[in-house]
Structure 1
Amino acid sequence: VAAACALPSSVAPIPGVGDSKTITDEAAREALYAQIVGTPGVVWSARVVSAARIDEINILMGSLQAMRESIVDVLEETKPTSAVALIDGPFSPWKEGPKYEAFQTPAAPPSVSLQVEPIKGGDAKVYCIAAASIIAKVTRDRLMHAYDSEWPAYAFGEHKGYPTPKHVAAISKHGPCAIHRRTFAPLKARALPPPTQQELERLEEISRKHSG
């Protein structure tokens, strides 16, 4: 999951908005999320890249794809002639070079002169990045609770997909479900079938419901 957020310069910062990793209480993140997306003039997008896609391109490229998609969503809605995209982390979503030619879509709208500025630790330094990180984290949490309802044997609502002992034990007992990456460490040494088309369609339905 990645998110982009454009905030009007006239809007005062919301107290408590900061690096989502430091906001450990889920209810507190939900409250901040509601304030951020409910602020007049705020434009945001959250995008989800499937486990199957990450298995194809790796987790970094999947993250950059979600970044590109969410940034382009915001640009298409706000329609600026020029913009600066401040990125959390060291990489531009549009990495240059022959190795990355397949990872340039979606491109920014041709009507926008876009400058991209990666910032290491940006979610702890830049307000709009912090706001986007909260949107992304809450979107992720909501997805995990939805997955928990769909596949209760794995307790996604508790560990949020991280490889905790309980999660790894559930995979060992039940095998993987549709949202498990086949390149996930406990699984990558095993020959496993990909998710079925029906499972992929259900995942897409859940993603559409809980992202924006």
Structure 2
Amino acid sequence: MPARRTKTAPTNPRAASASRIRPDFSQELAALMAGDVPVAGADEVGRGPWAGPVVAAAVILDPDRVPNGLDDSKKLTAPQREALFDVICATAEVSVAFAPPARIDGHNIRQATLWALSRATAGLPRRPRLLLVDGNDLPPVSCVARAIIGGDGLVASIAAASIVAKVTRDRLMASLGLAHPGYGFERHMGYGTPEHQQALETLGVCRHHRTSFAPIRARLAPAAE
């Protein structure tokens, strides 16, 4: 039976920020009271970089142990994310999935991202009855799914997923920086910074670059010719 999926009306981020300083657990609580148990939140990081994977996370928060200080991972400092990552992993059900450059190049960034979100959701210890996803696009999942624009700044479980995904990807890119010195992956996390552009001029493209992305494809074209 195909999954039933819904979308919320677009949320005005400015109005939301004025009414809520931090994400809260209200949407999850409403779903739990309606019998949708468990409720998961999902988010991803790494759509824009020129190198490295997209990392998706899905999180089922314990209603009795929702961590304090949850927020959109982009609004937190690295030490805050690290501390919350440990708390989330200690108190919640967490699953992470990776869409490597080969999948991104073989399909496209959108399809690779949705695949990673689907894999992360499927990897949870319990199958959710409801999945809350950041953005306006829904992955193929075997449960009801709801897309929430700006959800990582509104919904506690999505914020938790954004933190888990961000910390996981940053740690991975730091490891790639050690394995491939000179690119600066540990500093720019694969994004197209001037440092990264200069490294490409000097070192060329490595196997962790996304060859379907225009800046990388352009550097491969002269070699192919």
Give the structure-1-normalised TM-score: 0.75
What are the superposed Cα offsets for residues 39-77 of structure 1, whole Å, 9 maximum, x if unpaired? Answer: 1xx111111111011011111111111100000111xx2
Cα distance between partner residues in 1 of 2:127 and 2:169 = 27
In the superposition, relative to structure 1, how do residues 56 and 84 fare at CA in structure 2: closer, same or farther (>3 Å)? same
Instruction: State whether residues 36 and 131 of structure 1, in contact with CA within 8 Å, keep that contact through their aligned partners in structure 2.
Output: yes
Count of residues in Structure 1 that have an aligned counterpart in Structure 2: 168
User: What residue number does 2:79 align with?
Assistant: 27
User: What residue number does 1:191 align with?
Assistant: 221
What are the superposed Cα offsets for residues 95-114 of structure 1, whole Å, 9 maximum, x if unpaired? Answer: xxxxxxxxxxxx53xxxxx1
Match of 1:15 among 62, 68, 72: 68
Match of 1:92 among 124, 132, 138: 138
Q: How does 1:112-123 map to 2 (within 5 A)?
A: 114-123=143-152
User: What residue number does 2:179 align with?
Assistant: 150
Higher relative contact order (CA 8 A, sep 6+): 2
Say if 2:50 is the partner of 1:4.
no
Cα distance between partner residues in 1 of 2:185 and 2:157 = 28
Q: Which one-letter code corresponds to 2:184 in the other structure?
A: A
In the superposition, relative to structure 1, how do residues 10 and 29 fare at CA in structure 2: closer, same or farther (>3 Å)? same
Cα distance between partner residues in 1 of 2:70 and 2:127 = 26
Structure 1 unaligned regions, length at least 5: 95-106, 109-113, 194-212
Q: Which one-letter code corresponds to 1:191 in the other structure?
A: A
Deviation at 1:173, TM superposition (A): 1.1
Instruction: State whether residues 6 and 44 of structure 1, in contact with CA within 8 Å, keep that contact through their aligned partners in structure 2.
Output: yes
Cα distance between partner residues in 2 of 1:117 and 1:30 = 28
Say if 2:170 is the partner of 1:124.
no
Structure 2 unaligned regions, length at least 5: 1-54
Deviation at 1:192, TM superposition (A): 8.4
Post-superposition, which runs of at least 4 consecutive aligned residues in structure 1 deviate over 6 A?
none
The DSSP-based 3-state class of the residue aligned with 1:38 is: helix
Deviation at 1:186, TM superposition (A): 1.6
What are the superposed Cα offsets for residues 144-203 of structure 1, whole Å, 9 maximum, x if unpaired? Answer: 01101100110101101110000011011111111100022322223389xxxxxxxxxx
What are the superposed Cα offsets for residues 77-110 of structure 1, whole Å, 9 maximum, x if unpaired? Answer: 2156xx000000101112xxxxxxxxxxxx53xx
Say if 2:97 is the partner of 1:37.
no
Q: Which one-letter code corresponds to 2:58 in the other structure?
A: A
Q: Which one-letter code corresponds to 1:172 in the other structure?
A: E
Instruction: State whether residues 182 and 192 of structure 1, in contact with CA within 8 Å, keep that contact through their aligned partners in structure 2.
Output: no
Cα distance between partner residues in 1 of 2:162 and 2:127 = 23
In the superposition, relative to structure 1, how do residues 192 and 156 fare at CA in structure 2: closer, same or farther (>3 Å)? farther
User: What residue number does 1:59 align with?
Assistant: 109
Per mean C-alpha deviation after superposition, the further-off stretch among 60-69 and 179-188 is 179-188
Instruction: State whether residues 2 and 66 of structure 1, in contact with CA within 8 Å, keep that contact through their aligned partners in structure 2.
Output: yes
Instruction: State whether residues 5 and 45 of structure 1, in contact with CA within 8 Å, keep that contact through their aligned partners in structure 2.
Output: yes
RMSD: 1.5
The DSSP-based 3-state class of the residue aligned with 1:186 is: helix
Say if 2:126 is the partner of 1:78.
yes
